Amino acid sequence: MRTDTGQIFRIEDYRPSDYLIPETRLTFRLDPEATVVIAELVIERRPGVAPSTPLVLEGDGLVLRRVEIDGKPAGKQSFEVEPNRLTLLRPPAAKRFRIVIETLVDPSANTTLMGLYRSSGIYCTQCEAEGFRRITYFLDRPDVLSVYTVRIEADAASEPLLLSNGNPGETGPLPGGRHFAVWHDPHPKPSYLFALVAGDLGVVDDSFVTASGRKVALGVYVEHGKEDRALYAMDSLIRSMRWDEEAFGCEYDLDVFNIVAVSDFNMGAMENKGLNIFNDKYVLADAETATDGDYANIEAIVAHEYFHNWTGNRITCRDWFQLCLKEGLTVYRDHEFSADQRSRPVKRISEVRTLRAHQFPEDQGPLAHPVRPRRYREINNFYTATVYEKGAEVVRMIRTILGPAIFRQGMDLYFERHDGQAVTIEDFLAAFQDISGRDLTQFALWYHQAGTPNLSVSTTYDATAQTFTLEIEQSVPPTPSESRKRLMHIPLAFGLVGADGVDMRWTTVDGATVEDGVIHVRKRRHAVRFSGMATRPVVSLNRGFSAPVTLSVERPRDDLVFLARHDGDGFSRWQAFNTLATDALIGAFRSSLGGKPSGFPSEIATLAVAFAADGALEPAYRALALTLPGEADIAREIGANIDPDIIHGTRAELARTIAEANAATFGELYEALSTDEGFTPDAAGAGRRALRNTLLDYLSLLPGGAALAARHFSRATNMTDMAAALGVLTQRHPGNDRTQSALAAFERRFSDNPLVMDKWFQIQASVPGPGTVEAVEALTRHPAYSTLNPNRVRSLVGTFSSANQTAFHRPDGAGYRFFAATVLDVDGRNPQLAARLATALRSWRSLEAVRRDHARTALLSISSTEGLSTDLRDIVERTLA
């Protein structure tokens, strides 16, 4: 583990490396405890750098065996070695020279899952962001691009499969039952994209012919016996390769493309050139063991990692401050892919829900940072919703501002200009500025300034003049280390809906700020006046969620009811109903706090049934409309003095009100959807299941509800229905005997499948109520649980702390104490995982006073512990600051 030096890295301190490494030859002599790594590096001094300049290579916990310079052993006086650094004090005077470095690493002891490690007997690597320095001393920074040749030597019986980046070369036997394979990657790449896999795995093979006729051999490698569960990943890969050619003109550039699934992995997956390594959760699926959500994630993540081949690998980041250059852009691309494969409005609503659930709290709390951060202490902590999800929204806004055709031309120019380079956000924006002639200076603040902008809007209608006026005011709340904010350029898509539900035609008096259905908000205050309005329109704002802002509009509630029925924009129609439900829940929360619980406006239940029964809408859309705002969403909207128990009670009460008002219709719809059409993982099948399972959740609140859910569980023919029924039972009827026997049946059936057992842990970690603290604690001693496996830890402790509002925030602080002890325990083995878990307390200041004190005590108990990793210390100290 890296020791915390307290060092802060700042973007303004960037300077190019004195030395480059145009060629890297690596030899791995694999051994479980003592792997020898020989790195032969061609080093080149950059022009203008003095010949006497020392060469400083980064390392992390390495054992050095020897150093050679230009073919001769390096004398003791010529270098200095530490576990974290190797310095050649007086490198050769020649512009180019060669060095050989031999290091020793222990893959079995590596529980951080960074660098070279073993997972279920498979050797694998994870090098992003700074894991390569755990393999050998190197210039481990993304702007040092090198051509790699890799030779792997291993035991032929236990590691028949030897993979690395690029194209396969020579293979052959070695003495002692060993063998070797050579791989060569002709595309220069940064060290974070290096990968190696060795082991004994099964494979699903296929091939793809690119637009220009290159035949690519495709492989998805999984544990023997699981090949059938890798077919959907392969299918997703082939669709991704075709889509990227059609949508962005991006063609694959090697003879092979391999995906390997491993069970111990810190992230979702990693885009190593030609050899993607995946968390097996995002590869393995069949109807019996994977939900529709799992299928959608596999499709999206396979696409995401594949798309990195151009946005990330061919064009990479100059430094880690530019992480959003590859991530935000690639998330945008995978969103577009999924929207094309599935339903665009449904996909958009899901994206926005994710953004609000994960990015908005980040932006509104102590961990807020710009999409392009300016400083970091531990880069691992910046793989955040802000960099990924808000980063994707920023790219989407560029497309909204420029229009699809110019956006595509800008992307083409970016690829053409920077292929093979390590670049910055400024380079990315310049391509769009140059192609469009537009000034994106103010827009660039989206990358540089943290915080979610707010737009307050009021409207006036003048019947005599037939004008309709929008007054828009923007503000950006202060965030840590940024108290004063500059004004943003916010593209706000809109429509003016007439009484017949059809968008009215309009002309603006102030035309400069409105084009193609988008208001360009750039100033603090804006008035946009529309003329020729014979009747008062209802304004639909931020259509398609064109900008990641919060919006407060002064208007009669009837306008929202109208939009929930008639808005022609699918996203905004969903949003109108969601806003009505959120407002009703906040109103009920406030009156409960005041001791006078109130009911809910009757139109909520009326609209719910209208959505449910509207056959013109896709089932998946209807399911989303019927899903009430989550407890964390409601808490975020309330903002301060949060009592999670009251929120939970209020939300359950609204669900019951809707169910009781619509019992007959919901029951009929549920039955009508119950005809088994056989499982297909496509969007249409998934949508029908989503609607039916949402209806089940409502029906379970009525008399006989537990029996209905238990029947749904026992008759389920796929994991989607089974997990949904178990979720309904545990959420709505936690103490019921039927719930306990369903949990036991599920465990019996799937005890040998770790990924399905993750769902079992997750479902139990989500059970509302105070007793879940002890239940989760007891589950950490379950034989299927392992603190070494990130998926297990996330499914139990991660779910408990980030998705169970009532149990985690138990008023006596027991949830926080369990949580703090677990985070500290995990930190000793896997700092990245510990730091990720610790972010669950980022919104602690918005809790009511008693819980707030307990949360603070728990955070202090972590921060006062000796020997914390840099990762965890950074998160906890920023959370407390």
Catalytic (active-site) positions: 305
166 vs 328 by CB, closer to Zn ion: 328
Q: Kindly give, in sequence order, each residue whose CB lies less than 8 Å from that of residue 106, ignoring residues fewer than 6 positions away.
A: 33, 34, 35
* Host H or E run for residue 692: helix 683-699
Please answer whether residues 488 and 447 qualify as being in contact, where contact means their C-beta atoms are separated by less than 8 angstroms.
no
**Sign for the pseudo-dihedral over CA of 500, 505, 510, 513:** positive
Count of residues binding Zn ion (CB under 5 A)?
1
Q: Which is nearer to Zn ion, 79 or 132 (CB)?
A: 132
Question: In the complex with Zn ion, which residue's Cβ is closer, 301 or 457?
Answer: 301
Closest distance between Zn ion and the C-beta of residue 326, in Å? 6
Asked if the peptide bond before residue 129 counts as cis, ω within 30 degrees of 0, the response is yes
| The one-letter amino acid at 509 | V
Measured from the CB of residue 389, what is the shortest distance to Zn ion in angstroms?
12
Q: What span, in angstroms and rounded, lies between the C-alpha atoms of 57 and 139?
A: 5
Phi/psi at 269 (5° precision): -170, 170
Closest residue by Cα to residue 697 from 619, 771, 623: 623
CA–CA gap between residue 90 and residue 198 (Å, rounded) = 37
- Residue with token string 């951060």: 373
**Nearer to Zn ion by C-beta: 30 or 129?**
129
**CB of 301 vs Zn ion, minimal distance in Å:** 9
Closest to Zn ion by CB, 327 or 567: 327
**Closer residue to Zn ion (CB): 38 or 129:** 129
For the bound state, the minimum distance from the C-beta of residue 361 to Zn ion, rounded and expressed in Å, comes to: 21
Judged by beta carbon, residue 327 or residue 569, the one nearer Zn ion is 327
Q: Least Å distance between CB 271 and Zn ion?
A: 6
Q: From 612, 180, 635, 72, select the one nearest 365 (Cα to Cα).
A: 635
In angstroms, the Cα distances linking 625 to 619, 669, 674, 766 are: 10, 15, 20, 22
Backbone torsions φ then ψ of 203, nearest 5 degrees? -140, 145
Least distance to Zn ion, CB of residue 468, Å: 44
Instruction: Point out which span in 17-25, 187-195, 199-207, 319-327 binds Zn ion (CB under 5 A).
Output: 319-327
CB of 452 to Zn ion, least distance (A): 23
Nearest residue to 727 (alpha-carbon basis) of 389, 340, 293: 293
For the bound state, the minimum distance from the C-beta of residue 411 to Zn ion, rounded and expressed in Å, comes to 17
Query: Strand pairing partners for 148?
Result: 24, 185
Q: Which residues pair with 262 in a beta bridge?
A: 279
CB atoms inside a 10 Å sphere around CB 503: 18
Q: How far is the CB of 317 from Zn ion (least distance, A)?
A: 11
CA nearest neighbour of 620 among 347, 422, 865: 347
User: Which CB sits closer to Zn ion, 327 or 389?
Assistant: 327
Classify residue 340 by burial, with Cβ atoms within 10 Å: 0-12, 13-18, 19+: middle
Q: Kindly tell me which of 279 and 650 has the beta carbon lying closer to Zn ion.
A: 279
Task: Name the minimum Å distance from CB 422 to Zn ion.
Answer: 16
Query: What sign results for the dihedral spanned by CA atoms 315, 319, 320, 324?
Result: negative
d(CA 75, CA 73): 6
β-strand pairing of 72-73 with 115-119: unpaired
400: nearest Cα among 300, 487, 515: 515
CA 216 to centroid of chain Cα atoms: 29
Cβ proximity to Zn ion, 298 vs 561, nearer residue: 298
Residues 439/433, Cβ–Cβ less than 8 Å: yes
Structure tokens at 479: 């965030």
Task: Print the binding letters for residues 320-339 with Zn ion: x by CB under 5 A, - otherwise.
Answer: -------x------------
- Which residue lies nearer to Zn ion by CB, 143 or 327? 327
Q: Tell whether the torsion through CA atoms of 487, 490, 496 and 497 is positive or negative.
A: negative
Distance CA(760)–CA(779), nearest Å, equals 10
Q: Where is 878: in which H helix or E strand?
A: helix 870-880
Distance CA 278, CA 275 (A): 10
Enumerate residues 603-662 that contact Zn ion by CB under 5 A. none
What three-state secondary structure class fits 717? Answer: coil
x/- letters, 269..288, toward Zn ion (CB under 5 A): --------------------
Distance CA 700, CA 708 (A): 7
The two beta strands, 72-73 and 19-29, are: unpaired
Smallest gap from Cβ 315 to Zn ion, in A, equals: 14
Pair of tokens at residue 247 = 């949508």
Smallest gap from residue 236 Cβ to Zn ion (A): 15
The residue count of the chain comes to 881
* Closer of 159 and 334 to Zn ion (Cβ): 334
**Where along the sequence are the contacts to Zn ion (CB under 5 A)?**
327
